Amino acid sequence: MKPTIDPDCKQTSQSKQKWLKKKDFNDLETLLCKQFGFIPHTFQVKAISMQLLGEDVLLHTGTGSGKIAIAAGPHMHKKMERCVSFVCSPLIALEEEQVHYISIHLPIVPCCNVCTSKLLKHTCPALSTITKCMTTLKCSQIAPSVVEELKRWQTLFFEINYPDAMFGDSGLFPDSLIDLLSLVGPIKTYEQLIKILSPY
């Protein structure tokens, strides 16, 4: 199926940008060196040149190789002073670095500053306080008599304390915990019980 174009659809806006010609930036490398304070790589100069000519640029290069300079490069030319570039940053920390710490003398405005790295730190989970579950088992099989007694207590506790609840008794005392308690040997101390119950 071929895509169709509505004949009544009219483009309401057209770019009035007059792109440069090659003769306009013969000294581009010198200009970039002066503005950036370092000698740009060949791929940077080439990518910036293509943008100044109005060409689309697809660049694949490693982290820290100078992609930000490629985005800022066209604005170093005096004929591009009224142009705007949009840079999509995948990380909030990277956006902050681009706005506050990159030594490029250009006005940089964060478009999405609703979320900050400081705010994200408040959502980081704390270190787990769960202690290692006791692994000393009485035997390798579940003791039916213990399971029966625990289930009786499970039902009785639920009926006394939560008679009108909209959840079942296993919501308070899951069957997996009953199985675990039936496997573990005699619990002699409160501390030992806490270790066993720590995952719950």
Mean pLDDT of 115-140: 54
Name every residue whose Cβ is closer than 8 Å to that of residue 57 and which is 6 or more positions away in sequence. 47, 50, 51, 70
Alpha-carbon torsion, ordered 170, 172, 175, 176, to 10 deg:
140
Please check whether residues 148 and 185 belong to one and the same domain: yes
Q: Identify whether 179 is part of a domain.
A: yes
Q: Identify whether 135 is part of a domain.
A: no
Q: Identify whether 138 is part of a domain.
A: no
Q: Is the per-residue pLDDT at 3 higher than 70?
A: no
Q: Is the per-residue pLDDT at 135 higher than 70?
A: no
In this prediction, residue 165 carries a pLDDT of 78
Where is pLDDT greater, at 33 or 22?
33
Please check whether residues 153 and 107 belong to one and the same domain: no
In this prediction, residue 103 carries a pLDDT of 62
Q: Identify whether 114 is part of a domain.
A: yes
Give buried/exposed letters for 166-195 (b at 16+ CB in 10 A, else e).
eeebeeebeeebbebbbbbeeeeeeeeeeb
Where is pLDDT greater, at 148 or 121?
148
Q: Is the per-residue pLDDT at 108 higher than 80?
A: no
Mean pLDDT of 13-22: 64
